[in-house]
Amino acid sequence: MFVRAALVAGVFFPYLVFFADEEPVPALVIAVIAFALMVPLGLFLDRVRYSRQKRRYEEKRAGSAKR
């Protein structure tokens, strides 16, 4: 989760500097804020995805046990 957030923030910073014509210091602040937001959001999305996969696995397993 931290690696994924760091990679996205690492790509976001040069984008802000070179393509959005933002000054480096504000772009760094925005990238750090984006990193800080992506960590809990990534945890939440991973938890939701895991719950869905677990539910599908249990439904599939329960369906095959009935046969």
pLDDT tens, the chain, 67 aa long = 899 999 999 999 999 999 999 999 999 999 999 999 999 999 999 999 999 999 999 999 888 766 5
pLDDT of residue 12: 96
pLDDT of residue 31: 96
- pTM (2 decimals)? 0.76
Q: Are 35 and 16 in contact (CB under 8 A)?
A: no
pLDDT of residue 1: 82
What distance in Å separates the CA atoms of residue 6 and residue 21, rounded to the nearest whole number? 21
What distance in Å separates the CA atoms of residue 8 and residue 27, rounded to the nearest whole number? 14
Secondary-structure breakdown of the chain: helix, strand, coil percentages, each rounded to the nearest 5? 90, 0, 10
What distance in Å separates the CA atoms of residue 42 and residue 21, rounded to the nearest whole number? 28
